[in-house]
């Protein structure tokens, strides 16, 4: 999906810790796709890291917090950040509701109705991505497209079906 980003300010690997839990095969597939898309194209730079990457990211969930453990390519630690998931709760919930409406609409709605729902879905996804960028500000610099891919991964972490 797109050209692999070059340079040092990027992720080369993303791993989900066992604390994330496992889900159905379909959800596991969606998680793998989200990780693939993120690794394939991203811009990721921990603030203040003069040595640079490329980086590996291990994601955990601890006490309803997203733990982002960043290491260098060889495994040397760089930084660990914890982000509260509370600011994402409403956005993720609304996003799932709109996605469900979208999948239902595909079966019976007019193209203009489907397009309207899809615009709402994309708007919520953008809102979640911007919230993530805001929460990472001063910690990890990411571009908007990388924030979108990370937000997608946050969403599929919550998807249990």
Separation CA 156–CA 161 (nearest Å): 10
pTM of the model: 0.85
Domain boundaries, the chain: 11-158
**Rounded to whole angstroms, how far apart are CA atoms 14 and 59?**
7
How do the pLDDT tens digits run along the chain, 161 residues long? 334 445 789 999 999 888 887 777 877 888 888 899 999 999 999 999 988 889 999 999 998 899 999 999 999 999 999 999 999 989 989 988 888 888 889 899 999 999 999 899 899 999 999 999 999 999 999 999 999 999 988 888 776 54
Return all residues near 96 (Cβ < 8 A) that are at least 6 apart: 155, 158, 159
């Amino acid at each position: 999906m797109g050209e692999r980003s070059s340079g040092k300010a990027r992720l080369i690997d993303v791993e989900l810790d066992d604390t994330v839990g496992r889900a159905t095969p379909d959800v596991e597939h969606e998680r793998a796709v989200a990780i693939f898309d993120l690794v394939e194209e991203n811009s990721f730079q921990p603030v203040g890291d003069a040595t640079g990457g490329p980086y590996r990211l291990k994601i955990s969930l601890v006490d309803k917090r997203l733990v982002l453990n960043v290491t260098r390519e060889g495994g040397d630690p760089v930084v660990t950040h914890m982000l509260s998931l509370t600011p994402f709760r409403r956005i993720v919930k609304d996003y799932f509701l709109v996605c469900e409406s979208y999948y239902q609409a595909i079966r019976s709605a007019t193209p203009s109705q489907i397009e309207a729902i899809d615009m709402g879905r994309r708007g919520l996804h953008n809102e979640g991505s911007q919230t993530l960028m805001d929460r990472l500000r001063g910690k990890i610099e990411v571009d908007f497209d990388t924030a979108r891919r990370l937000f997608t991964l946050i969403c599929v972490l919550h998807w249990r079906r």
